[in-house]
Amino acid sequence: MVRVGFHFIASPMKHIIVGTAGHIDHGKTALVRALTGIDTDRLAEEKRRGITIDIGFANLRLADERNGEELYLGFVDVPGHERFVRNMLAGACGIDLVLMVIAADELVMPQTSEHFEICRLLGVRHGLVALTKADLVDAETLELSRMELEDFFAGSFLEGKPVIPASTKTGIGLDELRDALAQTARETPERNGSGHFRMPLDRVFVQQGFGTVVTGTPVSGTIQADSVLKIHPLDRRVRVRGIQGHNKSVHSIGAGQRTALNLAGIEASELRRGMVATSIGPFRATRKLDCVIELLATADTLKHGAPVHFHSGTAETVARVALLDRCGKLPPGEKALARLRLDNPVLTLHGDRFILRRFSPVITIGGGIVLDTEPRPERNAEAHCRRLTELQSGEPVRVLSVLLQHEPHGLEVSDTIRRSGWSEKKVGEAAAHLCKLGVAQRLGPSRLLSAEAYRAASEKAADFLKHFHRKEPLQPGASKEELRSRCFASAPANFLEALLASLEAAGVILIENEFIRLPRHTVMLDDEESNARATIIAKFETAGLSVPAVKDVLTSLPVDAGRARRILQALLRESILVKVSEDLLLHRDSIDRLKLLLRHE
């Protein structure tokens, strides 16, 4: 038997977020109040009109006397009226299981279907059904209603889930519903508190004596008091002054728990619902993303270029749809790869789910999954669609392999984290696997290239040096800056150094001082060049401190001016000649004699 209360203090606690869903006036708020004792309607207008307008919150602590397991259920009560579905979507972000509330005297109504489809599109996989207002129908009608609902949910994530008749007026079924809710919560996986902290904001307000407070449901990670967070898309750093969870102050809190953060360093007027608080990292909001979208069977055909309302987390913005693998339109009930261009930047990551609503009239038409938040211009549409199809797998090794395919300079760990949302450990594990398979190559401590990109970069560097040596046989090698400007001008600053270190370790190149050369290259002089070299040395050696003009020496040589200048530069590099000023060169023996003379004086 499950009871409300706090019994086993030392036992571990599982946290699950329960979201209500259903048509207006089917009793969602009354049911949450009956289960938790908390009235989630906080606005004066809600109490006056008797309907839920914005999302509300409650909690329920359950203990199983048989095994001591404790459950902490955070309830998100959403509005059922069609005019407030946008608020419902903000509340649906982060729920782990849905409590579908359906009145026994009306059964499935428009927002019942809409809320159910939204939960399905958001990837909710656990839930149960409360058949409310059971006191208003007889037992036979109640049983028929239960059977009708079982047919309605057949083939969905709610197939075979409990359908519990209940009445908040008489109390019938509430204990059974509470037990079924507890059992469903036990079967629902708890969110992973590891990784990067990310919390979409659903409320912002000022608390007297504390200042700016934001609330939300973290979808990943854990945060501690005094931590520094970043607010997106503002790109502003803030400090966590205090944390509240379970209706009390706590030192840390993580994914799957209703959370309130007292923030320092920002005014409440600067924040709004839809922004996201994250741990400090490489994340950034985007105005463009590639995705797979699913159109509901009840929706109209979606045309290429159509404007839609895009809902991700608690954010909402207008977007335009560019269909990538369809001939200008997407029929109802089908899926397509698409690129969305957002009017306002939104922080979203690979694998995040979103909802699409028609621009006007505003009704839910579908949803989708984010595949790439930094899409590149693509000339080959067919190849690009194949790449996006691979990204749909969500499997880290495959996803990382695909991300590397179109990156000639590879990706830093931070780049991969930003585009995937994975932890550094997860990125490292996927990278190690790809390297072991021979399809990727590490470059420096934190960069990874596809094996193909590494080969291309290596060949480009070797080809450049080959041509350089042919053109400049008197030069010992090319400078790093020459190689960078000719071959890797668009590469990140640390790319070339890491590439050269790797190529030198592999014996492909040699680096001597500031020069880079191929291992087989040596400076070879023909007879004319050898004679010119000997002439230069002799003239400066015999001149002592009465040195000739450089110009006169070079014009007297049996080679052209270009080769003469390069021979002179080689003698300077070898320190046979020493440059005192722009037009004053001394032989090194003359320098030694001058030093000796100065010491004796």
Tens-place pLDDT, residues 255-288 = 989 899 999 999 999 999 999 999 998 999 999 9
Question: Does position 10 have pLDDT exceeding 60, yes or no?
Answer: no
Across 421-529, the runs of DSSP E, i.e. the strands, are 440-443, 447-450, 478-479, 510-512, 515-517
In angstroms, the first-to-last Cα distance of the chain is 106
Return the half-sphere exposure (C-beta side, CA atoms, 13 A cut-off) of residue 526.
6
Who has greater pLDDT, 413 or 192?
A: 413
pLDDT of residue 40: 64
- CA atoms in the 13 A half-sphere facing the CB of 394: 8
Mean pLDDT (the chain, rounded): 85
**pLDDT band at residue 573 under the 50/70/90 scheme:** low
255 in Cβ contact with 192 (< 8 Å): yes
Is pLDDT of 514 > 50? yes
Please compute the mean of the pLDDT values over residues 175-189 and round it to a whole number: 93
Q: Which of 144-148, 221-225, 554-558 has the lowest mean pLDDT?
A: 554-558
Closest to 434 in 3D by CA, of 387, 390, 393, 397: 397
pLDDT of residue 490: 93
pLDDT digit string, tens, across residues 296-322? 999 999 999 999 999 999 999 999 999
CB under 8 A, 24+ apart: contacts of 306-309:
306/359, 307/359, 308/356, 308/357, 308/358, 308/359, 308/365, 309/86, 309/356, 309/357, 309/358, 309/359, 309/362
pLDDT at res. 83: 60
pLDDT above 70 for 472: yes
Which pLDDT score, from 0 to 100, does residue 356 have?
96
The amino acid sitting at 150 is E
DSSP-H helix ranges across 103-163: 110-121, 139-152
Which is more confidently placed, 566 or 455?
Answer: 455
Length of the chain: 601
Report the CATH superfamily, name and number, of domain 2-187.
P-loop containing nucleotide triphosphate hydrolases (3.40.50.300)
Say what percent of the chain tops pLDDT 70. Answer: 87
* pLDDT computed for residue 64 by the predictor: 67
User: In which band, very low, low, confident or very high, does the pLDDT at 41 lie, cut at 50, 70 and 90?
Assistant: low
The CATH number of 393-520, from 3.30.1220.10, 2.170.190.11, 1.20.1050.10, 1.10.10.10, is: 1.10.10.10
Quote the pLDDT of residue 335.
95
Mean pLDDT computed over 90-118: 89
Residue 394, φ and ψ in degrees, nearest 5:
75, -5
72-76, 125-129, 160-164, 480-484, range with the lowest pLDDT: 72-76
Q: Is the pLDDT of residue 366 over 50?
A: yes
The domain spans of the chain are: 2-187, 198-279, 286-381, 393-520, 527-600
Find out whether 366 and 321 touch, Cβ atoms under 8 Å: no
The CA–CA distances, whole Å, from 238 to 184, 261, 262, 267, 583 equal 37, 11, 10, 10, 60
On whether the CB atoms of residues 388 and 290 are closer than 8 A, the answer is yes
> What are 58's two structure tokens?
């409650």
What would the two tokens of residue 333 be?
A: 């009930």
pTM of the entire predicted model: 0.82
For residue 558, pLDDT over 80 is answered with no
Task: Quickly name the fold that domain 527-600 has.
Answer: Arc Repressor Mutant, subunit A (1.10.10)
What does the pLDDT read at residue 53?
A: 42
pLDDT of residue 367: 96
Task: Assess contact for 124 and 97: CB atoms under 8 A.
Answer: yes
Model confidence pLDDT, tens digit, residues 48-97: 444 444 567 788 888 766 666 788 898 887 765 556 567 777 777 788 99
Top-level class of domain 198-279: mainly beta
- The residue behind tokens 């549409």 is 381
Mean pLDDT in residue range 481-491: 93
Query: Do 198-279 and 286-381 fold alike per CATH?
Result: yes
Nearest one of 274, 218, 276 to 250, comparing CA atoms: 218
Mean pLDDT on 394-416: 92
User: What local confidence, expressed as pLDDT, does residue 527 receive?
Assistant: 62
Q: Cα Rg for the chain, rounded, in angstroms?
A: 35
In angstroms, the CA 364 to CA 368 distance is 12
Q: What is the pLDDT of residues 333-361, one digit of tens each?
A: 999 999 999 999 999 999 999 999 999 88
Element (H or E) spanning 186, and its range?
helix 174-187
Report d(CA 475, CA 150) in Å as an integer. 83
Rounded to the nearest 10 degrees, the angle between the axes of helix 413-420 and helix 396-405 is: 110
Q: What is the DSSP letter of 49?
A: H
Topology adopted by domain 286-381: Elongation Factor Tu (Ef-tu); domain 3 (2.40.30)
Task: Please check whether residue 143 is in contact with residue 163, taking contact to mean a CB–CB distance below 8 angstroms.
Answer: no
